[in-house]
Amino acid sequence: MADLDKCVSLCEKLRSNKVLHKHMQWIFLVITVTGSLLKEMQLLPDWYFNNKRNVLNVYFVKLAWGWTLWLLLPFISISNFYISKKDPVFVLQRLSSLLVGTVVWYTCTHFFVFIEDLTGACYESESMDVIKMDYSSKLACKKSGLFWRGYDISGHSFLLAYSTLIILEETALMSDLKNISQRPPESVRAIVSVFYIALNVLVVIWIWMFFCTSVYFHDFTHKLCGTSFGILAWYVTYRIWYQKPFSPGLPTRQERKVMPNQRRYSQNSD
């Protein structure tokens, strides 16, 4: 447990940087612009991470929302359960933020595919000399072994930025778990710590792969649009909607007060 506490403290210390905590959305935009400039100037050599088959891209980025969802689900459940003094309604309310995030991910990624189909055309080869009029979608074109060229909004830029911002929001209450009156059992704290550390490792991977996407893949406007969609989705939810009633609400940064009926429920459940 002592080693876990040290790792948690290290993560909290690294995240205490105000620039990282308050301006991560702008950092993503800066990475997009500077990375695209490096790509256009071809200043960086080819290496392992500009190969789409690299292990982080194949096993993590391709499944980015799954990884984000799988690690956040238990972390939000357990941490908010104790922060709220074992209020199951509040836990379900906070978990609904993951449902919202899934709807945002699904809607945006399908919208990007729609835009690419709408603006694209199928070609016989990458040289785009001969156009094939029989195909109206990228999927059908690719299945025939042909080449599709359309406005390809970067799904990687969108999802990596969006997932990182959500993780930073949802894990910000970790330090508050140490100060609540009814602290979780040591075994539960160990589980929460493992998920917290794993989520921070995931953030490092997402930011690194976001950088690799910026310097090696996509056109500048494709990445800028994808990043902007990710930031906008985070801002509309966490900075606007979640601060209002009838929403999943924000991750509480302090122990919630319990109403009498909630206290009776908690006592009965114990």
- What is the predicted pLDDT for the residue at 267? 42
Pairing of strands 147-149, 131-132: unpaired
Q: pLDDT tens track of the chain, all 270 residues?
A: 677 778 887 887 777 766 677 789 999 999 999 999 998 888 788 888 888 899 999 999 999 999 999 999 999 999 998 888 888 999 999 999 999 999 999 999 999 999 999 998 899 888 777 788 888 888 888 888 889 999 999 999 999 999 999 999 999 888 777 777 677 778 888 899 999 999 999 999 999 999 999 999 989 999 999 999 999 999 999 999 999 989 999 887 544 444 344 344 334 444
Q: What strand order describes the sheet that includes 131-132?
A: 131-132, 121-123, 147-149
Judge whether 110 counts as a catalytic residue: no
Alpha-carbon gap, residue 75 to 95, rounded angstroms: 10
- What is the predicted pLDDT for the residue at 263? 42
Q: At what angle do helices 24-41 and 186-216 cross, to 10 degrees?
A: 30
| Residue in 21, 23, 110, 218 annotated catalytic | 218
Judge whether 222 counts as a catalytic residue: no
- What is the predicted pLDDT for the residue at 18? 67
| Residue in 23, 110, 156, 222 annotated catalytic | 156
